[in-house]
Structure 1
Amino acid sequence: MKYEKLEHFVSLPRLDRFLTACDGSKTKAQELYKANLRVAESFYPIMHLFEIFLRNTIYYKLTKYFGNPDWIVAEKSGFMSDKTLKPSKYFLKKQIESAETRVRRRGGTITSGKIIAEQMLGFWTSLFDTHHYKLLSGSIIHCFPNRPTEVQRKEINLKLDKIREFRNRVYHNEPVCFNGNKIDFREAMKIKKEILEVLGWIDHDIAKYINQFDNVDAKIHLALSL
């Protein structure tokens, strides 16, 4: 496809950043655009597995904490309605209610499994925000038994937020190959490292398991060889 046609369908503002990074070369800009897509694509398997492993780890830990496998529905009127959450506009509760609405709209029956499946990564990472964490008595810190002893809620929260923000960029087709107007994949490489680190804090085996789906470094290497 000629650059002009790609520009028409992708949009001028989106492609201009690639053109600037490639010193005005349309050929290089188009190659960089494709390389960026391939790097973003390489994150899909590990992001997918990261979300599943983190979600289920938190779910199991809170099932034990509440003594109820249906806590995600039951706690809508429990800690999720605590008056201290008013400044956050009862984010968790609203996410559950929205999920229930979607399930009912499809003609389904409300079950914990369906509500869990409806939740985005932000639901789970927000549990490490201070206001939610305190209401859970810090119990979810034990989702990470292999973490260094000095690593506590704040550092985990920061890492999860960075991973979530990067995940959103990938899923919303934002470029992952820039630092300002310069070609730079260091953030992508750092995020991959942090994903593996956090998973290793949960269980060393799942961090190893994810390696068989990881070709991020290879795609970045190809992108940098343009």
Structure 2
Amino acid sequence: MTSELPEWFQRVFSMPRFTPYLDVSGRNVTRAWQLYRWNVEVSEAFYGPLHCLEIGLRNAEHDQLHSRYGRADWWEVAPLRKHDACKIAKAQDDLRRRSGGSCTADDVLTELSFGFWVSLLSQAYDRHFWVPALHRAFPHYSGRRGELRDNLQAMVLLRNRIMHHEPIHHRHLAADHAKIYRLLGYLEPEVAPWLRRFDRVPEILARRPKGDHGDGQA
């Protein structure tokens, strides 16, 4: 079964990594090979939309919390949960270790993960963050906080799979793509037409390899 694969592929990428692609391709090496390459391409294409969503969310939330607490390093006085405060401390420690000195609020801001910003929409922060400030970060959203948080968390999971080079072909990627645009619209609708000019996801979704057994609905 492995004889049809180039020797370098087996050596560089490994058969254990390739096996899940074989499993959803009916053990057909050619189809699995095509699906593997397509998974790389579609993962690359999602980088742009996810980039816009992560950066947009980060800046929108930061602006509101900066305003609420009257300082750029609002995390120094905000009532963060221990888990989130530890993320701030780690970001500061990493920055100081790399620079050999102090770090600015902007430095910390860019060090924090997508997941950190989504965690600020948790129910635990309703009273301190969502009600007085963070709902304003989404001026075009009128739904429930919990639903918004769940949709953003789904995008964190997608982003993490892509960044860790995991399969995403089994997901309902067209729905994921639409969700990113919907979430961006809650932040700033004018981002969408700009992003669509260079967004390659629709093109790559349209040429998904035929014959794999994944239903793309996960």
Partner secondary structure for residue 166 of structure 2: coil
**Other-structure match for 1:110:** 103
Percent identity, aligned pairs only? Answer: 27
1:43-63 superposed Cα distances (whole Å, 9 cap, x missing partner): 111111211111001111111
Aligned-residue CA RMSD in angstroms?
1.8
Structure 1 CA distance for aligned equivalents of residues 16 and 33 of structure 2 = 14
Partner secondary structure for residue 109 of structure 1: coil
Q: 1:122 aligns with which of 115, 118, 123?
A: 115
More divergent stretch after superposition (111-120 vs 205-214): 205-214
The answer as to whether partners of 1:58 and 1:140 remain within 8 angstroms in 2 is yes
**Other-structure match for 1:216:** 201
Are 1:135 and 2:128 an aligned pair? yes
- Higher-helix-fraction structure: 1
Structure 2 CA distance for aligned equivalents of residues 50 and 2 of structure 1 = 40
One-letter amino acid of the structure 2 residue matched with residue 192 of structure 1: H
Structure 1 CA distance for aligned equivalents of residues 92 and 4 of structure 2 = 47
TM-score, normalised by the number of residues in structure 2:
0.88
One-letter amino acid of the structure 2 residue matched with residue 146 of structure 1: H
Structure 2 CA distance for aligned equivalents of residues 62 and 224 of structure 1 = 45
The answer as to whether partners of 2:66 and 2:73 remain within 8 angstroms in 1 is yes
Q: 2:40 aligns with which of 37, 42, 47?
A: 37
| Cα distance change of structure 1 residues 108 and 194 upon mapping to structure 2, 3 Å threshold | farther
Q: 1:165 aligns with which of 146, 157, 161?
A: 157
5 Å-filtered alignment, 1:17-96, equals: 17-72=20-75, 74-75=76-77, 78-80=78-80, 85=81, 90-96=82-88
Paired positions, count: 206
1:4 CA displacement: 5.2
- Greater relative contact order structure (CA < 8 Å, 6+ sep): 2
1:179-204 superposed Cα distances (whole Å, 9 cap, x missing partner): xxxxxx5x221111111001101111
Structure 1 CA distance for aligned equivalents of residues 40 and 4 of structure 2 = 17
Question: Could you list the runs of 5+ residues in structure 2 that have no partner in the other structure?
Answer: 212-218
The answer as to whether partners of 2:39 and 2:167 remain within 8 angstroms in 1 is yes
Are 1:3 and 2:5 an aligned pair? yes
TM-score, normalised by the number of residues in structure 1:
0.85
1:69 CA displacement: 2.2
1:79 CA displacement: 0.9
Structure 1 CA distance for aligned equivalents of residues 20 and 140 of structure 2 = 41
1:225 CA displacement: 4.7
